[in-house]
A and B are shown apart, each in its own frame.
Chain A
Amino acid sequence: MERYSGKAKDIELLDEKEVKIHFRDSISAFDGEKTEELLNKGEVNCRTSAKLFEILNEYNIETHYLKSISSRDLLCEKVDIIPVEIVCRNIAAGSFCRRYGIEIGTNFDQPLVEFFLKEDELHDPLITEEAAILMNYLSGEDATIIKAVTLAVNHILRNIFKSISLVLVDFKLEFGRSHEGKLIIADEISADTMRLWEINTGEIKDKDRYRKDLGDVIQHYKDILERLETITELPNIEFNTKTNIRISLKDSVLDPAGEVTFRSLKRNEYENIESVRLGKNASIKFSSVPSESLYKKTQEISNRILSNPLIEETKLSMEYFETSNEG
């Protein structure tokens, strides 16, 4: 049987489609420099992950989670993991503060999504979207979908945690491709992969307790799980996904309107202008969560109705906003 052991989990390949993820009691920080075994940690993280994945699935966010098969094992879709970790930040903390010298606890006006290369040897460095695309870790299409999905997950989790008096400071997601080729969220979502602070006191409830030797790590992890398990009804969340389609004439096709504009610019003595091409831009707002299938739907709308592929080419991007009047 094929097996893979990570720092805190073992993955067992069941067949072409499914894997069993086993949560161990190991905890590690600083790229594995600090490690320990904490009693019940595997169980608490397994149950927290299952609960959070169930919540996300409930809101139609596509994840690898299928079901919980024991207190330490999850049945999940097998994925080819994308070697880029996605971090979403609402409040400055951790490496962000060290990198930019900003004070811990600084609130951001808007959530920030960052990419990190998943490579322990290099200490998981920050990677620009351009570099990640250039090195074929993901495509431009993957990047725009992943960012939008991450922001929607942030919107959901923030609401969920707020309802149990916790502040979601930041979190990490991993994405992968299922055997069907679907882009879905993988790995785990637990106190190991996020920062959570007590709403009133700011008390740290997450892995920073271990990193900073604050003690009572499992007690706090357990408290988060217990609060999550009190949630019976999920809050109503209004989702605002926007896809932008830029339509331009192919270079080989004459653009008379662009030509007229070009001549006007020249007449107004603007120099070194080679040509002007005009295009159209369409923004479509959806009241659903972002996903790869929504992106594909936009592609279909774009090719079937918005443009004529014979003479036009299109460029798509996807965005997510927490309120409908943004963007």
Chain B
Amino acid sequence: MIIAGGFSYGDYLRPGAIASHSPIAKKLPEYVESGKFVIGICNGFQILCELGLLPGILTTNTSTKFICKWVNISTEQTSCSLLKGMENKKLKLPIAHYEGRYYSEPANIQRLGNNNQIAFSYCNEQGEINEESNPNGSLENIAGIVNKTGNVLGMMPHPERASFLYLGSEDGKIIFENLKEELTC
């Protein structure tokens, strides 16, 4: 299942707050428990966090502005098979969000790192993860994470908007190709 972005629930309380209490959302924990894949992109990532299916929360960008631009993210080794073949690479993907600043308590951030759950980190052209390459103030430059079992992936950048060269990049395509492969085998 892919939870797409798009603020369709208004996000008045917090991004994903209302959506995470919608009828369909109630079935999601069970779905995840069964080992099936769930990808949350942008607002989808926010909804997964509000549901508690991923740790942490996404909150207002430090700039307090809606940011819509191309960014570089570096990929790490995780247990998520959807990210197969993407390890230790630099990808070019677009972001478009107002509330993309990843926050969690320091102990949780440390746990994410220790468990290899940090899938994507904002970086520069050279692949260096630093403050300048952090577009929204996310802790540890976090752009995307996976759950412990590796079947839930949440990310703020939009791989679907970078799946064909004529869109400016096809770096995001591999996630969908991996998903297709996982579903057919």
Contacts and interface: CB of A to CB of B under 8 A. Distances in A.
20 contacts: A257-B10, A257-B12, A257-B13, A258-B12, A260-B9, A260-B10, A260-B12, A260-B18, A261-B12, A261-B13, A261-B18, A264-B18, A264-B21, A264-B22, A267-B21, A267-B22, A267-B23, A268-B21, A278-B12, A278-B13
Chain A contact residues: over half helix, strand or loop, or mixed?
Answer: helix
Interface string B4-22: 0000011011000010011
Interface of B: 9-10, 12-13, 18, 21-23
A264 B10 CA distance: 12
A264 B20 CA distance: 10
Nearest to A257: B12
Given A257-B10, A257-B13, 4 more contacts: A260-B12, A267-B22, A268-B21, A278-B12
Contacts of B9: 260
Interface of A: 257-258, 260-261, 264, 267-268, 278
Contacts of B13: 257, 261, 278
Contacts of A278: 12-13
Contacts of A267: 21-23
A299 B45 CA distance: 40
A264 B22 CA distance: 7
Contacts of B18: 260-261, 264
Nearest to A268: B21
Contacts of A268: 21
B26 to A, nearest CB: 9
A33 B23 CA distance: 72
Contacts of A260: 9-10, 12, 18
Contacts of A258: 12
B25 to A, nearest CB: 11
Contacts of A261: 12-13, 18
B21 to A, nearest CB: 5
Name the 7 nearest CB pairs between A and B, nearest first: A257-B12, A264-B18, A260-B10, A264-B21, A268-B21, A261-B13, A278-B12
B108 to A, nearest CB: 22
B70 to A, nearest CB: 32
A257 B18 CA distance: 10
A260 B14 CA distance: 13
Contacts of A264: 18, 21-22
A112 B40 CA distance: 50
Nearest to B18: A264
A280 to B, nearest CB: 11
B17 to A, nearest CB: 8
A177 to B, nearest CB: 42
Contacts of B22: 264, 267
Contacts of B23: 267
B113 to A, nearest CB: 28
B167 to A, nearest CB: 33
